[in-house]
């Protein structure tokens, strides 16, 4: 295990071969997106001899991706901020109290972990319609905050149970009100798990498709997945144009991923040890 | 510093002797228990109740009615929706597909994820790059990967072209258009996208195994396979539990990729409970029927994940 032997070399070759197989779809995505629209009948495997950025320009103009990116960002930031603040706040008494009510509330949240959102989606659609919130990104913020609350509370509660009480008690004796003690002392101590909560929720909210498809359809406030869905529906089988749109739509999340890959991977792996 | 000031303030009280000893506050401090206000849970609970609990309960209620989603009133029809559901061939086959997808994804994604994790946990030089690389598809929007694969799978698409170029043109298929294989084509996309996710969790499990244990087994002369089975496998149990739960639940709820690639077609061959729920509610206005299907999906998620969790929990205990 210590040295680089010939066996390690073989393993390295096998792993790189596996990586190439995994990369094949991404390679095709790039090859198509840079292909001029006029170039038809070429093999899908071979890059164009005259690569072009025209598809990107056209996709940007026609798919409405600019406003969609803004909307996605708005919904994601709004939901994740609410989730972090409210779930950590809720997890605090749940983790500290041993009374019956705290166990009951925790059990209720855990039930929420198991409920597939398909069940709530339809009745909630009616409620949102009655409240005049269909087409409004606020509907999504409310939905995601409620939907992802159990998981976030679960992560924070697990972390808080393992956290020393010394600091918070000192702050309480200091005469700080409970809210101030929470935000100035407890919340900063939760930073490691907050990273996980943020990463998992950002990826979930940003990528979700079914909810915005329902709650925002027909409005001008699409998020990226729905904007791409509509765009591809319009230009079906114009693959170079479509793929350019898909690449633009993926740039924000991939940029974040590659910029903070270690943190993101830790978030996905660490949150689940809860 | 603030702590020091707090102590000072407290010790000042008896000396000042103006105010009587304040027993309630002092008592709380001595017992070491500061009560956290229970109302801290209220805002979270309010969002959770509004967006998940109450609508889920209403959904369960509507499944016993004839609600069409538009009318204000509805009548209770008992178990009629469920009877209709189980005598509806499409719904039954969608249930079968859902179970098949969940099972296949769970097995294959975790097998691939485990192999990848063992590979990148070795001494190979490219291990760090490969980790980042294999995980990348898991963060890409499923709508994007689904459209990409829709093209790859098309008759004139890249997979058939690649098969052609290595002389395997005869193996070429209409991967999503042939109802015999379309479901497996969908499974392959999920496996491609999320194996890296399983890998990351297995990797966290592998890295929690102390190095000394490996070294001890090296000295015992255990080969790699024996070492994996007797040492690594039992210690991976928690990671395995998490992975199996995630892929099972994800597989049961699958919607995005199916809806983008096939909309449940051809001829319902890739319909899942989620695609039928969506279609029945929002294209046919059969809201009550649709909620009955959602209840069935919920029961499957709760029962199957409960059974799996119970089984894996017992295994973990036996191993430890």
DSSP string, chain B: -HHHHHHHHHHHHHHH-SSPP-HHHHHHHHHT-PPPPGGGGHHHHHHHIIIIIHHHHHHHHHTTB---SSSS---B-TTHHHHHHHH-HHHHHHHHHHHHHHHHHHHHHHHHHHHHHHHHTSS-TTHHHHHHHHHGGGGS-HHHHHHHHHHHHSTTSHHHHHHHHTT-GGG---TTT-TTTHHHHHHHHHHHHHHHHHHHHHHHHHHTS-HHHHHHHHHHT--HHHHIIIIIHHHTHHHHHHHHHHHHHHHHH--HHHHHHTTT-STTTT--HHHHHHHHHHTT--HHHHHHHHHHHHHHHHHHHHHHHHHHHHHHHHH-
pLDDT tens digit string along A228-246?
Answer: 998 888 887 788 899 999 9
Q: Do A173 and B6 touch (CB under 8 A)?
A: yes
- Region A4-31 average pLDDT: 91
Per-residue pLDDT, A2: 59
Per-residue pLDDT, B43: 95
Residues B267 and B133 in one domain: yes
Whether the per-residue pLDDT at B268 is higher than 60: the answer is yes
Residues B252 and B304 in one domain: yes
A contacts of B149 (beta carbons < 8 Å): 25
**Which one of A25, A109, A210 has the shortest CB-CB distance to B149?**
A25
Q: Do A253 and B139 touch (CB under 8 A)?
A: yes
CA distance B226 to B233: 10
Residue B206 touches partner A, C-beta closer than 8 Å: no
- Minimum Cα–Cα distance from A13: chain B residue: B124
Residues B131 and B247 in one domain: yes
Give a yes or no: residue B79 inside a domain: no
pTM of the model: 0.86
Per-residue pLDDT, A262: 84
pLDDT tens digit string along A189-211?
Answer: 898 889 889 988 999 999 999 99
- Minimum Cα–Cα distance from A145: chain B residue: B47
B contacts of A261 (beta carbons < 8 Å): 132, 135
Residues B102 and B249 in one domain: yes
The confidence band for B48, taking pLDDT boundaries of 50, 70 and 90, is very high
Per-residue pLDDT, A271: 52
Whether the per-residue pLDDT at B280 is higher than 80: the answer is yes
Residues B106 and B58 in one domain: no
Give a yes or no: residue B113 inside a domain: yes
Give a yes or no: residue B70 inside a domain: no
- Region A36-49 average pLDDT: 82
Element (H, E) at B284: none
CA distance B77 to A41: 57
Q: Do A45 and B158 touch (CB under 8 A)?
A: yes
Whether the per-residue pLDDT at B5 is higher than 60: the answer is no
- Which has more confidence, B45 or B219? B45
What residue numbers bound the domain in which B112 lies?
A: 84-319
Q: Do B140 and A14 touch (CB under 8 A)?
A: no
A contacts of B148 (beta carbons < 8 Å): 25, 28-29, 243, 246
Nearest CA distance, B100 vs chain A (angstrom): 18
Q: Which of B 85-114 lie inside 8 A of A, CB atoms?
A: none
**Range with lowest mean pLDDT among A1-5, B49-53, B211-215:** A1-5
Residues B215 and B262 in one domain: yes
Last residue in a domain, options B62, B92, B108: B62
Residue B138 touches partner A, C-beta closer than 8 Å: yes
Q: Do A268 and B138 touch (CB under 8 A)?
A: yes
Per-residue pLDDT, B7: 34
| Mean residue pLDDT across chain A | 87
Per-residue pLDDT, A69: 92
Give a yes or no: residue B74 inside a domain: no
Residues B42 and B101 in one domain: no
Nearest CA distance, B302 vs chain A (angstrom): 6
Whether the per-residue pLDDT at A136 is higher than 60: the answer is yes
The confidence band for B8, taking pLDDT boundaries of 50, 70 and 90, is very low
Whether the per-residue pLDDT at B281 is higher than 70: the answer is yes
Residues B120 and B228 in one domain: yes
Residue B48 touches partner A, C-beta closer than 8 Å: yes
Residues B259 and B315 in one domain: yes
How many domains does the structure of chain B reveal?
2
Report ipTM (2 d.p.).
0.89
The confidence band for A63, taking pLDDT boundaries of 50, 70 and 90, is confident
A contacts of B249 (beta carbons < 8 Å): 116
Whether the per-residue pLDDT at B28 is higher than 80: the answer is no
A contacts of B192 (beta carbons < 8 Å): 22, 25
Whether the per-residue pLDDT at A17 is higher than 90: the answer is yes
A contacts of B294 (beta carbons < 8 Å): 116, 118-119, 121-122
Give a yes or no: residue B75 inside a domain: no
The answer, yes or no, to whether the previous bond of A257 is cis (omega within 30 of 0) is no
Give a yes or no: residue B73 inside a domain: no
A contacts of B134 (beta carbons < 8 Å): 19, 22
Per-residue pLDDT, A97: 83
A contacts of B259 (beta carbons < 8 Å): 209-210
Domains within chain A, CATH numbers bracketed? 6-52 (no CATH), 60-273 (1.10.3720.10)
Residues B128 and B272 in one domain: yes
Nearest CA distance, A69 vs chain B (angstrom): 13
Residues B22 and B118 in one domain: no
Residue B15 touches partner A, C-beta closer than 8 Å: no
Give a yes or no: residue B127 inside a domain: yes
- Minimum Cα–Cα distance from A174: chain B residue: B6
Give a yes or no: residue B77 inside a domain: no
Per-residue pLDDT, B34: 54
Q: Do A116 and B252 touch (CB under 8 A)?
A: yes
Read off the CATH number of the domain in which B241 is found: 1.10.3720.10
Q: Do A146 and B135 touch (CB under 8 A)?
A: no
The confidence band for B3, taking pLDDT boundaries of 50, 70 and 90, is very low
Per-residue pLDDT, B212: 80
Residues B26 and B163 in one domain: no
Nearest CA distance, B144 vs chain A (angstrom): 6
B contacts of A8 (beta carbons < 8 Å): 122-124
A contacts of B282 (beta carbons < 8 Å): 214
């Amino acid at each position: 295990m210590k040295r680089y032997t010939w066996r390690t070399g073989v393993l390295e070759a096998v792993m790189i071969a596996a990586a190439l197989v995994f990369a094949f779809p991404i390679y095709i995505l790039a090859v198509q997106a840079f292909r001029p629209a006029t170039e038809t009948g070429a093999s899908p495997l071979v890059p164009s001899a005259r690569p072009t950025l025209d598809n990107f320009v056209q996709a940007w103009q026609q798919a409405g991706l600019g406003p969609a990116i803004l909307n996605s960002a708005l919904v994601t930031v709004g939901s994740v901020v609410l989730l972090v603040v409210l779930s950590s706040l809720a997890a605090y008494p749940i983790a500290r109290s041993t009374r019956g009510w705290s166990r009951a509330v925790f059990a209720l949240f855990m039930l929420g972990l198991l409920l597939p959102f398909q069940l709530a989606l339809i009745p909630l659609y009616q409620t949102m319609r009655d409240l005049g919130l269909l087409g409004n990104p606020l509907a999504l913020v409310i939905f995601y905050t409620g939907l992802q609350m159990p998981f976030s509370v679960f992560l924070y509660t697990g972390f808080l149970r393992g956290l020393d009480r010394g600091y918070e008690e000192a702050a309480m004796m200091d005469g700080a009100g409970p809210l101030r003690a929470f935000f100035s002392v407890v919340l900063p101590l939760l930073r490691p798990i907050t990273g996980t909560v943020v990463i998992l929720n950002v990826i979930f909210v940003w990528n979700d498709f079914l909810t915005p498809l329902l709650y925002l359809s027909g409005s001008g406030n699409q998020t990226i997945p729905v904007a791409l869905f509509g765009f591809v529906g319009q230009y079906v089988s114009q693959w170079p144009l479509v793929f350019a749109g898909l690449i633009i739509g993926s740039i924000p999340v991939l940029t974040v991923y590659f910029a903070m890959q270690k943190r993101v991977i830790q978030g996905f792996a660490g949150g689940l040890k809860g | 510093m603030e702590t020091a000031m707090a102590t000072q303030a407290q010790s000042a009280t008896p000396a000042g002797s103006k105010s009587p000893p304040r027993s309630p506050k002092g008592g709380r401090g001595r017992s070491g228990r500061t009560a956290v206000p229970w109302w801290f849970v209220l805002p979270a609970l309010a969002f959770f109740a509004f967006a998940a609990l109450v609508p889920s309960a209403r959904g369960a209620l509507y499944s016993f009615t004839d609600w069409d989603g538009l009318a204000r009133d509805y009548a209770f029809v008992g178990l009629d929706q469920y009877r209709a559901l189980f005598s509806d061939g499409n719904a039954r086959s969608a249930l079968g597909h859902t179970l098949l997808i969940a099972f296949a994804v769970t097995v294959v994604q975790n097998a691939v994820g485990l192999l990848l994790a063992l590979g990148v946990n070795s001494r190979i030089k490219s291990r760090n790059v490969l980790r980042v690389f294999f995980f990348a598809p898991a963060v890409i929007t499923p709508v994007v990967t689904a459209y990409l694969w829709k093209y790859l799978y098309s008759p004139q698409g890249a997979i058939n072209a690649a098969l052609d170029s290595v002389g395997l043109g005869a193996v070429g298929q209409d991967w999503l258009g042939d109802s015999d294989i379309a479901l497996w084509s969908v499974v392959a996309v999920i496996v491609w996208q999320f194996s890296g996710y399983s890998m990351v969790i297995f990797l966290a499990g592998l890295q929690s195994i102390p190095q000394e244990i490996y070294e001890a087994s090296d000295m015992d002369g255990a080969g790699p396979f024996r070492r994996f089975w007797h040492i690594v496998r039992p210690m991976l149990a928690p990671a395995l539990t998490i992975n199996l739960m995630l892929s099972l639940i994800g597989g049961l709820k699958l919607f995005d990729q199916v809806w983008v690639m096939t909309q449940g077609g051809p001829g319902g061959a890739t319909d899942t409970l989620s695609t039928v729920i969506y279609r029945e509610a929002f294209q046919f206005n059969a809201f009550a029927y649709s909620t009955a299907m959602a209840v069935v999906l919920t029961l499957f998620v709760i029962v199957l994940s409960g059974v799996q969790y119970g089984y894996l929990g017992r295994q973990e205990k036996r191993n430890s």
